[in-house]
């Protein structure tokens, strides 16, 4: 498999953190695609100046309305595939994901081009305790749904996808278009036979005074995550587990 990666940054009302996040991604030397998911705060206007000076290394796609992170990633993945890219490194627009770890992610993806490169978050004291505790339940469920094959933290969105398998799993489901995107697509990639590999990445949570923004809604999004597992568990039990078992045996033998 050839290796021609691009960085994808989905953005919705990202405020002042968007520009430095994009500039840091560009500093890695890889092309960057920003999908503005119906933003209304004007944060994407700052990207116009960068587009003019980035020597065609930055592409900005603007969606007419907010449709969710998964929908933004899907739109970006389709554009990247049409342009001939092979892999997609996704990172959030709020500065939480460390751009200085991009080379390590890309090196792992280059070495293992058919695999799913998962970020392993290293949390500091700035992480909200409720977020840290709540994610453990989702991780347990996605581990169960993939026979504990090594997905790790499925709510952490900094990863590298082989592009065509990503598009294949997105076509398997009409869901995974909102907050449920990160865990569902990771599970489906494992079901498809993409071996997960971990790359450590420190996480930073910015304060409001530093431009930190969160669109996470504890009630709405936890309900979405609960419904996600009501969908995935029966599909895993009835349709996916036997192929996954064969894949895991193959991974362990290699």
What pLDDT digit, counting tens, does each position of 185-195 carry? 999 999 999 99
Residue-level pLDDT at 211: 57
| pLDDT band, residue 156 (cuts 50/70/90) | very high
Tokens encoding 125: 């004291």
Would the pLDDT of 215 be above 60?
no
By the 8 A CB rule, do 129 and 83 touch? no
Mean pLDDT of 97-103: 97
Would the pLDDT of 32 be above 90?
yes
Give the C-alpha separation, 51 to 248, whole Å: 43
**Average pLDDT of the residues of the chain:** 92
| pLDDT band, residue 46 (cuts 50/70/90) | confident
pTM of structure: 0.93
5-253 CATH fold: Spore Coat Polysaccharide Biosynthesis Protein SpsA; Chain A (3.90.550)
Q: CB-based contacts of 60: which residues, under 8 Å, 6+ apart?
A: 33, 34, 36, 44, 47, 48, 51
Backbone angles phi, psi at 103, to 5 degrees: -60, -40
For the four alpha carbons of 70, 73, 78 and 79, in that order, the dihedral sign comes to: positive
**Relative orientation angle of helices 181-192 and 69-82, to the nearest 10 degrees:** 50
Domain chopping of the chain, boundaries: 5-253
Q: Is 148 helix (H, G, I), strand (E, B) or coil?
A: coil
Beta strand 196-202 with 58-63 is unpaired
Give the C-alpha separation, 185 to 171, whole Å: 11
């Amino acid at each position: 498999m050839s290796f021609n990666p691009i960085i994808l940054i989905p953005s919705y009302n990202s405020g002042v953190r968007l520009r430095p996040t994009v500039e840091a991604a560009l500093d890695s030397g890889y092309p960057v695609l920003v999908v503005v998911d119906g933003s209304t705060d004007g944060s994407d206007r700052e990207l116009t100046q960068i587009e003019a000076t980035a020597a065609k290394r930055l592409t900005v796609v603007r969606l007419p309305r907010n449709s969710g992170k998964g929908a933004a990633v899907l739109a970006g993945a389709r554009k990247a595939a049409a342009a001939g890219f092979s892999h997609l490194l996704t990172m959030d627009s709020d500065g939480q994901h460390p751009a200085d770890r991009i080379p390590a992610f890309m090196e792992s993806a280059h070495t293992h081009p058919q695999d799913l490169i998962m970020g392993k978050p290293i949390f500091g004291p700035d992480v909200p305790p409720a977020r840290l505790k709540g994610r453990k339940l989702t991780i347990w469920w996605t581990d169960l749904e993939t026979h504990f094959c090594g997905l790790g933290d499925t709510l952490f969105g900094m990863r590298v996808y082989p592009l065509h398998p990503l598009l294949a799993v997105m076509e398997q489901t009409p869901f995974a278009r909102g907050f449920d995107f990160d865990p569902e697509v990771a599970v489906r990639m494992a079901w498809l036979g993409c071996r997960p590999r971990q790359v450590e990445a420190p996480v930073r949570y910015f304060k409001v005074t530093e431009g930190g923004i969160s669109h996470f809604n504890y009630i709405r999004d936890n309900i979405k995550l609960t419904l996600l597992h009501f969908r995935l568990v029966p599909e895993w039990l009835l349709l996916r587990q036997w192929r996954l078992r064969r894949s895991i045996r193959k991974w362990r033998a290699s």
